[in-house]
Amino acid sequence: MIGIFDSGVGGLTVAKEVMSQLPGYRLIYFGDTARYPYGNKSPKTVIKYAIEDTDFLLSHGAKVIIVGCNTASALAIDELKNRYPGVPIFGVVTPAVKQAASISKNKKVGVIGTRGTVNSSIYTQLINQLNPEIKVYQQACPLLVPLVEENWLKRPETKMIVRRYLYNLKLKGIDTLILGCTHYPLLKEVISAKIGKRVQLVDSAVEVVKEVKKLVKTKADLSLGQSGANHFYVSDLNPQTQEIAKRWLGNEIKLEEVSGIGE
């Protein structure tokens, strides 16, 4: 089984991508809605939560872990890889970095994400490890996650806030923009309209699943493709969360509440 965790429902964009790129592979999802959001928390706390989320997925049969949260990928991926050396663990940051570095022609890349992700500067570091000539411009966009969760995807207020956040990146003349938060693919249309159609958007969900696909196709022994239902667990279930999940993944998705994570 492929395990995915996120701070909440944002990682469902990654789950959706797994279902589309790897149909037939079972997945188990954990959204830590009780402790959401991670984006404004300290690295120490995010690392602790990421370990507990991973433990949950592994104890429920996951054989591969996707950290479907940019903040946790930015702050906790090294810790997770050290802690579980035998488990393939994929973060959403590195695949997006590789893609952005390879497609940017003018060597000016923008990154948008939560405060936690932007303050970690992980995207800048990794892009510059690949190519020190690339200039990376970051922008934290803390208002976008709640707007997405409210389904304000095309409201004038959202368009105005997106334009404001992207203003400096636009002035810098970036030709590539990394959507460094799992919620942002839902705002692709508005983001593209505001940054300019010529700027290429990199969706970290799409890129990470491409990497996972390479692994699962070469390692039949990971027993990922067992039959059975996908499971979507959350640490706190409320009607709004269920509603968002249905909106993003379709009416048949049913979230299940689990308690005791981290206790």
Least distance (Å) between residue 173 CB and ligand DGL:
26
Instruction: Given the residues 69, 126, 134, 141, select the one marked as catalytic.
Output: 69
Cβ nearer to ligand DGL, comparing 180 with 195: 180
- Which amino acid belongs to residue 261? I
What phi, psi does 30 have (nearest 5°)? -130, 120
Q: Does 70 participate in binding ligand DGL (rule CB under 6 A)? A: yes
Residue length, the chain? 263
Least distance (Å) between residue 49 CB and ligand DGL:
10
Let me know if 69 is a catalytic residue.
yes
Cβ nearer to ligand DGL, comparing 158 with 182: 182
Q: Does 182 participate in binding ligand DGL (rule CB under 6 A)? A: yes
Residue closest to ligand DGL when measured from CB atoms: 39
Cβ nearer to ligand DGL, comparing 69 with 224: 69
Let me know if 181 is a catalytic residue.
yes
Q: Does 145 participate in binding ligand DGL (rule CB under 6 A)? A: yes
What phi, psi does 163 have (nearest 5°)? -60, -40
Q: Does 245 participate in binding ligand DGL (rule CB under 6 A)? A: no
Q: 117 Cβ partners below 8 Å, 6+ apart?
A: 39, 70, 71, 74, 111, 123, 140, 180, 181
Pull the structure tokens for residue 135: 């200039």
Contacts to ligand DGL from residues 97-116, by CB under 6 A: 114
What phi, psi does 250 have (nearest 5°)? 105, 160
Q: Does 117 participate in binding ligand DGL (rule CB under 6 A)? A: yes
Q: H-type helices in 219-252, by residue range?
A: 239-249
Size of the site for ligand DGL (CB under 6 A): 17
Q: Does 13 participate in binding ligand DGL (rule CB under 6 A)? A: no
Task: Give CA–CA dist 129/137, Å, rounded.
Answer: 15
Q: Does 33 participate in binding ligand DGL (rule CB under 6 A)? A: no
Cβ nearer to ligand DGL, comparing 8 with 95: 8
Tell me which of 13, 30, 31, 37 binds ligand DGL, using CB under 6 A: 37
Cβ nearer to ligand DGL, comparing 109 with 147: 147
Instruction: Given the residues 136, 181, 202, 224, select the one marked as catalytic.
Output: 181
Q: Does 10 participate in binding ligand DGL (rule CB under 6 A)? A: yes
- The neighbouring-strand residues paired with 44 are none
Smallest Cα–Cα separation from 92: which of 214, 212, 190?
Answer: 212
What phi, psi does 54 have (nearest 5°)? -65, -45
Q: Is 18 exposed, middle or buried (0-12, 13-18, 19+ CB in 10 A)?
A: buried
Cβ nearer to ligand DGL, comparing 36 with 224: 36
- Edge to edge, the sheet with strand 108-113 lists 135-140, 108-113, 176-180, 200-203
Binding site for ligand DGL (CB under 6 A): 6-8, 10, 36-39, 69-71, 114, 117, 145, 181-183
- As annotated, the active-site residues are 69, 181
